[in-house]
Structure 1
């Protein structure tokens, strides 16, 4: 009985505050107050207040046990160790990272084949930043050639 009265008084007070904000033409604030004012009455009418008090009691008992029980602290230590091991093995890594297959390749996606003496050494690949063939001297000496090159590399 007392909890019902308290819930409906809280709802009434919230609706009065919402009305005052509406009177001053602060519509968004008035609607927010009205929404918040309906929560206590809704909780009482759906009988969720006893559930909330049971949850509060259970959390209080858990917190008391957390502080006083060494077994709980051991469990927290084990959970921390598990999180550390999962982080060390890279459970949350993206698809471009090492799959952890144990081949010893590290972060490389594929291992390079050693060159056999019969095939000889292959020609060296050109570097990524090498100059493009066909550039004229005017393009090389322009004031904005460096800026243009950066923009071309980024696709702008």
Structure 2
């Protein structure tokens, strides 16, 4: 009975504040106050206040047992040991993976030499193994960018 009275008093007070806010033309604030004011009555009418009371009481009982019951402390120690073992079992596996990837030899060997960005293209146009000479393409794998390079050179970049 006391819970109902408190709930509806809180709702009435919130609606009154919402009315004052609406009178001052603060409609967004008034809407928020009205929405919050409806919460206590809604929680009471749906029966969630006794549920919250039960949850609060059970939490308080658990906290009291946490302080005074050695069985709870034993459970906490077991949880901590379990977490430590799980963490420790993953750590060497990750270290071994990192070390093995650092010791692997390079698959393709050394990277080919490429000229610096500002260097002019080399004048030698050596024929490929097929016997056909290249038509203005370099042998460094950047032949597709010859047009872009020419445009940048004309602009002085």
TM-score, structure 2 length as denominator?
Answer: 0.60
State the alpha-carbon separation in 2 of the partners of residues 81 and 32 from structure 1.
48
What are the equivalent positions in structure 2 for 1:13-28 lying under 5 Å apart?
13-28=13-28
Q: Secondary structure at the match of 1:25?
A: coil
**Residue in structure 2 matched with residue 10 of structure 1 by the alignment:** 10
Q: How many residues align?
A: 119
TM-score between the two structures when normalised by the length of structure 1: 0.60
Give structure 2 stretches of 5+ with no counterpart.
121-157
More helix as a share of residues: 2
Larger Rg: 2
Q: 1:10 to 1:131 in 2, by over 3 A?
A: farther
Gaps of 5+ in 1: 92-97, 114-121, 139-156
Match of 2:115 in 1: 133
Per the alignment, do residues 24 and 90 of structure 1 end up closer, same or farther by CA in structure 2, a change over 3 Å counting?
farther
Distance 1:2 1:85, change over 3 A: same
3-state DSSP class of the match of 1:106? helix
Change (3 A) 1:48 1:132: same
Residue 29 to residue 78, structure 1, CA distance change in 2 (3 Å):
farther
